[in-house]
Structures are given as C-alpha cells and as structure tokens.
Amino acid sequence: MAAGGSGGDNATSYPLDAGSYRLVCKIGSGVSAVVYKALCLPLGASPSAVVAIKAIDLERSRANLDEVWREAKAMALLSHRNVLRAHCSFTVGSHLWVVMPFMAAGSLHSILSHGFPDGLPEQCIAVVLKDTLRALCYLHEQGRIHRDIKAGNILVDSDGSVKLADFGVSASIYETTQPSSSASATSSAFSGPISATQAMAASSCFNDMAGTPYWMAPEVIHSHVGYGIKADIWSFGITALELAHGRPPLSHLPPSKSMLMRITSRVVRLDDTDSSTTATKKKRRFSKAFKDMVSSCLSQEPARRPSAEKLLRHPFFRSAAAGRSGRDYLVRNVLAAVPTVEERCRDDVGDCGCAGCGAAARCVSPCRHADNHNNNVVAAKNRRISGWNFNEENFELDPTDQQPTADQPPFFLFHDDDTKSTGIDGVDGDDQQQVGEEGLRDVVVPHLVNTILGSLEMQRGMVMQVLESGETGGGYHDHRSSNGCDGDSSETTARREEREGMLIGYVRQLEQRVQELSTEVEEEMARNAQLQEMLHERTCGNQTDSSQTSGSR
C-alpha cells in the first residue's frame, strides 16, 4: 500500500519503495514508531535527499491501520509553513514508513532533554509557541483537531523554523458527525476550508480517548462527555508548562493516575511570584503575561479557553520575536546550546534498535537502542518535579481553587525533595513517588472514592436522561400506537430501539469505568497498606534503637 505525492517539496518526487532510502541513524522513537534520519538515494547530493523516516509498527500501534493511514493522508493534504507535511508514505512489511522533511534540531522534547532540563528561557518559549499557535490556527480553520500537542511533536530545523508534526491521532471534526462512514467523511473533510466558527459549532462531538495522558484535556479524559478543538488549547497550555519546566505537570506520576487526578482537580498554573514562597531553591520567574496566557488555556471549562486565533493576539505573543528575527533568536539561544541530533544519538550506547523496523540491513549507523531510549524517556518523565511543591519551581496545584491554609496539608503530598526530608525513605513504587503518610491515608484514597462517585453520578445522569426522553418522547408507551396508527408505530419502534441501543452503550461505559476505577482504588489501597507497614516497621525500629541507646547509657 502506498500513498505517493510530493508533500513538502512540490518539485521533488519521492520514491515509494524502501530500497530507495538509506537509513543513516535513528533519531528518536515514540510509543509505536522509530524515527530515522535517511537519505533518498535517487536524489543524490541534493539537500532534499536528507529526510526523516518514521517507521510505524502497525502491529504495535494502538491505532488501527485506518487511523495510522489517516495520519499520512492528513499530513499530505495540509499546507502551512508551520505544519510538517509528509513527502510520501508506504508500507514495508508490517510497518508504515512516513517519509518527511528532516528537521535537523529535532523535537522540543529532545531539545529539553539534551540542553534544557529545567526549561527554556521565556523569550524562546514565546517564539516557538507563537509558531505552534499559527499551525494550530490553521488546523482548526481546516476543521482539524490535532489531539496530540506536546513538545515531542513540535520540531525545529537548523535555521530555527518551527513546525507542528505528528497527526497520528488528529482528526477532522466532520468525521465524528458521521462516525460510521469514516472513509467518505474523511474525504469530505478536505473538500474546502471551513471557518473557525463552523469548527467551533461542530466541536464537542469526539468521544474517543486520543492523545498522550499528561497533555490530555479533562474533557478528553472524560471522553463520554465529548470534546472539540478546545482540547488542543488545553494541551497547548500544558506544553507551555512543559517548556517552562522541562517536563509536563504530573509527569512523575504514572499516566493513569495523572488522568484521575485531572478529572477532579484544578491542575496547575504558573505560580504567582508574589506569593509567600520566596525561600525557593531554584525559583524561576515568569512574566505576568505568560502566566495569564497559560491559565487561560487551562480553564477546566472548554468554552472559557480562548480560540487559537484569539490566543495569538495575547500580549504574551504580541511581544514575541517573529519571522526571521525569531528564528535567529532560537538559533543563537537554543540550538547553539544543544548537540546535533546525530550527536544526541551517538551519546547513547547500545544497538540501533532497528531490529523489527523492517529495515535492519539498511541501517548504516547504529546509534541508539530502542529500550535505552525508552528508559531515558521514562526516566526523564519520572524525574520528580515540584508540580506540587510550592517552594521550588513556581508551580501551583490548586484543587479547590483555594490556597491551602497553614494547618491544611496540600491536596497531594507528593514531594520533590532529594533530601527525602518529608518522604518515606526507601519507598519506591513503580512510579517512584514519595508519598507523605497523611497524603496516603487522608487524601489519596478519599480522592479516588470521590472520583468514582463523581463519575458514577455523571453516568447516572446520562442514563436518566435517556430514560426520561423515552417517557416524555412517547417512546415506550406511545398511546398513538395503541390507537392503531401503524406509521407512527414503526417510527416509535425505531426510536425505542435507538434509545435502547444508547442505554446499553451507557451501561457498558459505566461498567467499564467502574472496573477501571476499582482497579485503581485497589492498587492505591495495596500501596497504602504497604507503606503503612513500612512506616510501622520504621517506627518500631526507631523505638527499639532509642530504647537500646537509652539502655546502653
């Protein structure tokens, strides 16, 4: 299967067979794909011969073939200077190869990991986010939701140009209005541009869970509620925090838990530098405009988040360097401080990891083993951040919209304290979080219970709605059908079947949700018990030590 075309470079035609490409080295990997720098051999020494090939393992991909194929199609149809467009794509064994322009500085995620672990300077963030926002404006105008905005999907070239990439989970807002006829809906989505207003009107209709947990909007997590283009604005706000601190909020938690917390919590905003948290180790100051921009994106209520177009007019972006001067600024202040993507690869020891990519024999410069890389990514994500710690990196967790009082512990007591002063020494779960004793006993479990109750209540409301509409809409006991009106009777039957179908769907969702949440609670309680046992042992140990000490005195 192949999709030809000359995407980013209209004058160049890219071949549709693996033999025409030579993989130079691996430059990155995601959940189910490996990305290579490669040469397109027929193009010889031309600069366009250097490409990036994303080899997507169709067997491991959580998306089905249609969805993966949609990424390639979507990229090929879009045209904007801040949107990365594929040259072509084709299958190689069980992999889909997407051939695209090589962005020599890699993704912002990679740049953060290799040069800015504590975040980029604010001016640089403004420059890259402004271009990202332009891409987002364009996508939304085209009726598309990206659904996976994050630093890993914002790519930078050697001249400082910025492009939004990875349409693996992007979708047309039109597709959901006709979910059962995806093929025709997909093509009709591209029949012409639509206005932002139309896009808004058609929003709130997706209900599948797409994206990467830490960046997901609350309404995406609560996927039965439906979501639209404003989900991208939430992820954009999270990406801003990721760029400010080097990692997204909650990234020290396993993804499922961060989702649960997001459901009921006001998440994170940049801290007010005027607050009482002056005794900080690595306090970073951010402008009021930046904080205001981020918090507008992170409104729990999608309708209150600004559109991409409106956000572009925010003072934070108005003062950002743009065009040539913006690109030069990035080259001087960001790219100069990070190794090239090839050097980043060479820094990693191990095999190239291309076994199974469908092209092992053609990889000429083994550089990084997939597992090594994945471990690094996980390690980077698990590095404890002070998202909860008001004293360190200017983040604030505000679950109730109120500052915790002095005698009230913060909502979650996860600590970013290398000295482990408040944590429990030696307690390392899968997620390596350190949890305060009170946090476990008094906060985490009740929080999960509240989450379950809230979710159940919402599902109950939906079921009641269906039942009520059945009663008032003449569905189940329509008196007209008993009066012998056959036409009405068949319509009634159809409506009843439709409602029954919806009801069954809701009940299934409800069962699944309860199952998921019960598992989370069980895990949390097991962890709780384990930690309490360790605490108990420590306390007993300390008492024994002190009695021995006093005895020996």
Positions at the binding site for ATP? 54
Examine residue 106 and tell whether it contacts ligand ATP (CB under 6 A): yes
Contact indicator for 510, 462 with CB cutoff of 8 Å = no
β-strands 154-156, 144-145 pairing: unpaired
Any contact of residue 135 with ligand ATP (CB under 6 A)? no
Catalytic residue, from 57, 131, 148, 232: name it: 148
Three-state DSSP state, 416: coil
User: Is residue 368 a contact residue for ligand ATP (CB under 6 A)?
Assistant: no
Q: Which span (8-16, 86-94, 162-170, 314-322) binds ligand ATP, by CB under 6 A?
A: 162-170
Pick from 126, 155, 308, 363 the residue near ligand ATP by CB under 6 A: 155
Q: How far apart are the first and last CA of the chain?
A: 82
Amino acid at 269: R
Query: Shortest Cβ distance from residue 42 to ligand ATP (Å)?
Result: 20
Stretch that binds ligand ATP, among 160-168, 236-244, 400-408, 414-422 (CB under 6 A): 160-168
CB of 52 to ligand ATP, least distance (A): 3
Q: How far is the CB of 215 from ligand ATP (least distance, A)?
A: 10
Token pair listed for 476: 């189940």
Residue from the set 3, 23, 24, 27 that interacts with ligand ATP by CB under 6 A: 27
Angle between helices 255-264 and 445-472 (to 10 degrees): 60
Q: Using the rule CB under 6 A, which residue among 43, 52, 127, 440 binds ligand ATP?
A: 52
Is 128 buried (19+), middle (13-18) or exposed (0-12) by CB count in 10 A? buried
Span interacting with ligand ATP, options 23-31, 239-247, 295-303, 325-333, rule CB under 6 A: 23-31
* Residue 259, helix vs strand vs coil: helix
Numbers of helices and strands, H then E, in the chain: 18, 13
Local structure of residue 391 (DSSP, 8 states): T
Torsion of CA 515, 516, 517, 519, to 10 degrees: 80
Q: How far is CA 381 from the centre of its chain?
A: 13
* Smallest distance from ligand ATP to CB 456, Å: 31
| Distance (Å, whole) CA 508 – CA 510 | 5
Distance from C-alpha of 374 to C-alpha of 379, rounded to nearest angstrom: 8
- What track of x and - describes contact with ligand ATP for positions 209 through 248 (by CB under 6 A)? ---x------------------------------------
Which secondary structure element, helix H or strand E, spans residue 35, and what is its range? strand 33-40
- Work out whether 100 is an interface residue with ligand ATP (CB under 6 A): yes
* Interface pick for ligand ATP out of 5, 8, 15, 30 (rule CB under 6 A): 30
Structure token pair of residue 117: 């672990």
Q: What does the buried/exposed string (b/e) look like for 513-540 if buried means 16 or more CB atoms within 10 Å of the residue's CB?
A: beeebeebbebbeebbeebeeeeeeeee
Residue 26 CA, chain-centre distance (Å), reads 23
Q: Which is nearer to ligand ATP, 338 or 397 (CB)?
A: 338
As measured in angstroms, the least distance from the Cβ of 36 to ligand ATP is 9
Indicate which single residue of 102, 316, 317, 388 sits in contact with ligand ATP (rule: CB under 6 A).
102
* Of 61-69, 105-113, 187-195, 498-506: span binding ligand ATP (CB under 6 A): 105-113
**148 catalytic, yes or no?**
yes
Work out whether 91 is an interface residue with ligand ATP (CB under 6 A): no
The residue within the footprint of ligand ATP, chosen from 2, 6, 20, 31 (CB under 6 A), is: 31
33 binds ligand ATP (CB under 6 A): yes
Radius of gyration from C-alpha coordinates of the chain: 26
Judged by the rule CB under 6 A, the positions of this chain that interact with ligand ATP are 27-31, 33, 35, 52, 54, 100, 102-103, 106-107, 109-110, 148, 152-153, 155, 165-166, 168, 212
Q: Residues with catalytic annotation? A: 148
